[in-house]
Chain A
Amino acid sequence: MPSASDILSALQSAFPGSIQESRVESDSRLWVTVDQKKLLEIAKFLRDKQGFDHYSGSAGVDRMADNLMEVVEIMASYANHNIVVMIKVKTPRDAPSVPSLVPLFWNANWYERESWEMFGINFEGHPELYPLLLGDDLVGAWPWRKDFKGYPDTTTGKRTVERVDASGLTSYRIGLTDEQVDSGQIPQRIEYPTFREREEAHIESESEMILHLGPQHAIVPGPFLLDVLVDGERIKKAFLDVGYIHKGIEKIMENRTYLQGIVYTDRMCYLASISNNEAYCGAVERLLGVTPPERAQYIRVIAAELSRIQSHLLGTGEFLTLLGSATYSPFQYMIIDREDVISLLESITGARITHTFVRFGGVRNDLPDGFAEQARKVMKMVREKTMEYKDLIAADPIYRKRMDGIGVISPQDARDLGLCGPPLRASDTPYDMRREDPILAYPDLDFKVISRKEGDSAARVDVRLDEILESVYIIEQCLDQIPEGPVQEKLPKKIKPEPGEAYYRTEDPRGEMGFYVVSDGSDKPYRVKVRGPFYATFQTFTPLLEGVYLADVVAIAGSMDACTSEVDR
């Protein structure tokens, strides 16, 4: 297995002069700054020759002081090794433009669209550079640039025009005055087809029509628009529109101190708040150079696994109800079980869903008295109940008819599409951050990475149910092994990391959750980028739903265990 320095020397010998800066953080982390003209070639070299087949996302950073924009491409590997390479490209701030990676990695699409609409970085060769999360009004304001002053936009030459319409309501528009157009100083407002026009361009005959599922629909877990172009019962093409609950958490966190940022990570996805806390705190810990004490690591593992159990229980239960499992209603049973798990979490953290529990270099408080006995009791119950659900599902003919062989994703497709978490593992790819990155106490614990060969909707649910059993096993080991000791490393009162950057990833209930934090030496993070797990899975809906029956949309989309809040952030 190669190490990060091997990859660096391979890069340097293949592209002499193109590697401008490099830093080997550890055996599994490599940071390189490359010449932007060579980016495509370097990414191709890494993908084809060095086994970096997993494009994990990209982030834009506005370096206003240097008059530069940075794009950070995160690349990893599914099976070849556990190295994460962070490729940085610099581009001038007044006309930022970098080559798009979409020709190499299909799933770079959304990440680049987001960077474009937030920073105004042009991606050359991107097939559909349309806004993703923002409303049309804000396009051209580039809200995540450091000089953005708020809405209505005042950055791009004070282009906002306040207008009173006929009904007496005030509206804001980012328009141009005639003088501005004549002088040619300010670029024209970006022209692009609207979502509706893009959809309707695909209608070819009278028999086709567009069916809306959402933004408010019984099957969707949060507001998002899934439009399907149907010809009879078959779906010809699917269209996704997200951003209905875009909260701008990444920008908010730039304006809060490091400690205050923890509370916002909770609210990205309340089913996974512990693992979001963990990912953010882990990244800041890397910046500060601290490691939590051993007891704190075990407590974090226990909390994270409990959170995984409750998330899978709720997700599976809700999904089975949507499928119409007629003979029993698993949602009610699973939520009763989840109640006990949540109470257990509450007894540790003090809150039921938004925990704000993990701290830099430790945890907020120690386990309460009598926790181990209570936890063992609940874990026994969860294990028995989960076995029972597995039995029930295996025997239910309605369930089997709706799920077996529906929405099959081959392992190669799953990797190419950039799926993550249980849907990826259901397609015979045992890729789990707990195994890839030796974080917390996971290297000391014995656990299997659950995977399935079939790759259909049923396999995705099976993976989740088996993961519950595996999490129960992990928690029981932790309760046996947990050492005595302090739970919080001593840190200065004011947290001010040295200038630098860190990327840290954990295994969310939905997959790979990564936090990329940039520090400029002040008490606030300079940039926080969330690489959400469901964001990656979500963009695969469009190709996956092509050609399936309309009735299977629920089975396929639901088996992914969606969380819109985390996609929109």
Chain B
Amino acid sequence: MVLNILKGYKMTFKTAFKDVEVTRTFPEFMMELPANERGIHELDATVCIGCGSCARICPNNCIEMVPFKYGNPLKNKKMVFPSIDFGRCMFCGLCVDECPVSCLKMGKNVVMAGWLRDDLILGPDKISVKRHTPQEVAALEEEARRLAAEKKKAAAAKAKAGDKKPAGAKKKKEEAGGES
């Protein structure tokens, strides 16, 4: 009986002198996180197209699309980017899976303590890891304007060339409406 009880202590002694890492003194020592870790989001603002599919899939409605200056106006016409409320986020990663251009990722940073509730709402300026400089944005905007003007011109030209057809269709419709 006593021997059997002592047998239990064998384990205690075996582990007492072994180097077992159990408690880490966070934040001085951070544990090693795997490459797949789902931490705070990282946004590539140069790629984001502002489609808002991340905001739609979010089960907790914690993503809001907000305006942000340093994106690519060629791709992101409205210049809106995700802003994430980490007070509600449960790090499920559905937004990352849903992103059609893979601009949203989840990184290894998991520290997000703050003093205020608003500190937990991280906008695109906080979560974007890649963004355009103001000069690049200006150049891209210029490009966007030029393209828009070209498109307008082309559309106008097209409208002139195909003037008869749509007008004819419209007339027919009007006639039909009048008859009925």
Contact = CB atoms under 8 A, between A and B. Distances in A.
Contacts of A368: 34-36
B32 to A, nearest CB: 9
A392 B7 contact: yes
B5 to A, nearest CB: 5
Interface string B51-65: 000000101000000
Interface stretch (A255-263, A443-451, A476-484): A255-263
A346 interface: yes
B11 interface: yes
Interface in A330-382: 332-333, 336, 339, 343, 346-351, 354, 356, 359, 364-365, 368
Contact of B94 (A260, A346, A398): A260
A395 B8 contact: yes
Interface stretch (B85-93, B118-126, B161-169): B85-93
B36 A354 contact: no
Nearest to A399: B8
A397 interface: yes
Contact of B4 (A332, A359, A395): A395
Given A263-B59, A397-B5, A347 B36 contact: yes
A25 interface: no
Contacts of B4: 395-397
A356 B93 contact: yes
B8 A350 contact: no
Contacts of A41: none
B138 to A, nearest CB: 35
A266 B38 CA distance: 15
A522 B15 CA distance: 57
B9 A336 contact: no
A333 B36 CA distance: 27
A272 B93 CA distance: 19
Interface in A295-350: 325-328, 332-333, 336, 339, 343, 346-350
Contacts of B140: none
Contacts of A388: 11
B22 interface: yes
A356 B94 contact: yes
Nearest to A357: B93
B1 interface: yes
Contacts of A364: 93, 97
A266 B93 CA distance: 13
Nearest to A256: B59
Interface residues of B, number: 27
Interface in B33-51: 33-38
A396 B36 contact: no
Interface residues of A, number: 36
Chain A interface main SS type:
helix
B22 A336 contact: yes
Interface string B112-150: 000000000000000000000000000000000000000
B106 to A, nearest CB: 7
A344 to B, nearest CB: 9
A264 B59 CA distance: 9
Contacts of A346: 33-34, 36-37
B11 A351 contact: no
A190 B102 CA distance: 55
A350 B94 contact: no
A40 to B, nearest CB: 42
Interface in B59-80: 59
B176 interface: no
Contacts of A266: 92
A260 B59 contact: yes
Contacts of B180: none
A348 B36 contact: yes
Interface in A406-454: none
B20 interface: yes
Contacts of B36: 346-350, 365, 368
Residue of A346, A351, A365, A391 most packed against chain B (CB within 10 A): A351
B12 interface: yes
A359 B92 CA distance: 12
Nearest to A327: B8
A263 B93 CA distance: 10
A359 B8 CA distance: 44
9 contacts: A260-B94, A328-B8, A328-B11, A332-B22, A336-B20, A346-B37, A350-B93, A368-B35, A388-B11
The 7 A-B pairs with the shortest beta carbon distances in the complex, nearest first, are A327-B8, A347-B34, A350-B38, A350-B36, A260-B59, A328-B8, A356-B92
